[in-house]
Amino acid sequence: MSEGSPSPPAKLERDYPLARLTTVRTGGPADFFARPETQDALVELLAWAEKESIPVGVIGSGSNLLVADDGFRGLAMKLGGALTEVERDGTHLLCGGGARLPSAAAKAAGWGLSGLEFGINIPGTAGGAVRMNANAYGGQLAEVLEWVEVSTAAGTERRAPEAFDFVYRNSNLGAAEVVSRASFALTPSDPDDVRATLASMRGRRREAQPSGIKTFGSTFKNPDDERAEGRSAGQLLEAAGCRGLAHGGARFSAKHANFVENSGEATTADVLALMAEGRRRVKEKFGVELEPEVQVLGDVDVPGWHERGASERDRRSS
Ligand SMILES: Cc1cc2nc3c(=O)[nH]c(=O)nc-3n(C[C@H](O)[C@H](O)[C@H](O)COP(=O)(O)OP(=O)(O)OC[C@H]3O[C@@H](n4cnc5c(N)ncnc54)[C@H](O)[C@@H]3O)c2cc1C
């Protein structure tokens, strides 16, 4: 920390283990960790980190996140308190950036509000969903997203969905821009109908994907490459013999080849080595270069990022 600088915000923890904040359960500690519970506390943390030139990273449910084995030399934050709440204002659903999407979808159903049903199967937060432009079963985040409050070192501002340049599993949000609140404009509906849709979506998911495993969901994006002949990343990996393939404690799921699971003792290095082998096999067999979907915290060299140049990594760590 620089000399004469303001004292760090209250409740800042040091050397905080991050593996348990991710669904794949790998990776090391963050130098600094905090759980801001209000927008003001969040802005204060971001301003402190900017002043101290400390990189920041926000963790939602950690359901699409790989943390470096040697951790993160910066300030990791997980939203808490009021920033995790879900409220209703007429047909609008107001979610803290740290609100869990499945519980937001279930609450909306109980209130007879339709439009967020696809969130029932996405084990992330509202903020993570905006950052990742999350989607499932044809539901579109951007179709129901009304506005987003983004907190930075300079304060909190409200942005329209168009400001995020949403593309497949991505937005233009940088690492120091934190979604602290979002509003979804939903449609009145019969609660029983919305609940029935949720139940059917859960059932479809149970059939298609493994449950109860430590994973970050889809490892690679579905390719937009004619050599894939319309096949998904999972189908290509499976055809390339990756189903069940293991490296150390990491393996491609036997039920869904695009899911890497931690069988208990995996490190992030194991996951990366397995991803590299999966990409290599798919490239060799089909000529298709799979692009990772998973995001990172810390110094992690994800196989496949170099093809897109350093721009993505630079943007994320700026
Ligand atoms: C079993 C399983 C099934 C899945 N199914 C789907 C699916 O059907 N569709 C789908 O799209 N995804 C799916 N995912 C992936 C994941 O759930 C989504 O990408 C989700 O949106 C990530 O949200 P998160 O809160 O967990 O973000 P994290 O994994 O914690 O973080 C991901 C990225 O978002 C950033 N971020 C997190 N919170 C914020 C915030 N408040 N403000 C700004 N940036 C933030 C992080 O810094 C990081 O860059 C699945 C994952 C699993 C494990």
In this model, does residue 223 exceed pLDDT 70?
yes
- Altogether, the residues listed in the chain come to a count of 318
pLDDT tens figures, 238-253: 999 999 999 999 999 9
Q: CATH: 3.30.70.60, 2.60.120.260, 3.30.43.10, 2.60.40.2230. Which one for 13-81?
A: 3.30.43.10
Rounded to an integer, the average pLDDT of 37-55 is 97
Distance 313 CA to ligand 1 centre (A): 17
Distance 1 CA to ligand 1 centre (A): 31
Residue span(s) of the chain under CATH 3.30.43.10 come to 13-81
d(CA 305, CA 307) in angstroms, rounded, equals 5
- The residue whose C-alpha atom lies closest to atom 27 belonging to ligand 1 is 128
In this model, does residue 311 exceed pLDDT 70?
no
Q: Does any ligand 1 atom lie closer than 6 A to the CB of residue 136?
A: yes
Helix (H, G, I), strand (E, B) or coil at 221: coil
Q: Are 292 and 306 in contact (CB under 8 A)?
A: no
Q: Does any ligand 1 atom lie closer than 6 A to the CB of residue 139?
A: no
At the topology level, CATH places domain 84-193 in 3.30.465
DSSP 170-212: B----TT-EEEEEEEE-EE--HHHHHHHHHHHHHHHHHHS--S
In this model, does residue 306 exceed pLDDT 70?
no
DSSP 227-244: GGTT--HHHHHHHTT-TT
Prediction pTM value = 0.93
Q: Are 64 and 260 in contact (CB under 8 A)?
A: no
In this model, does residue 309 exceed pLDDT 70?
no
Considering the segment(s) 211-302 as one domain, its CATH architecture is Alpha-Beta Complex (3.90)
Please list the active-site residues.
169, 218, 293
- The residue whose C-alpha atom lies closest to atom 20 belonging to ligand 1 is 124
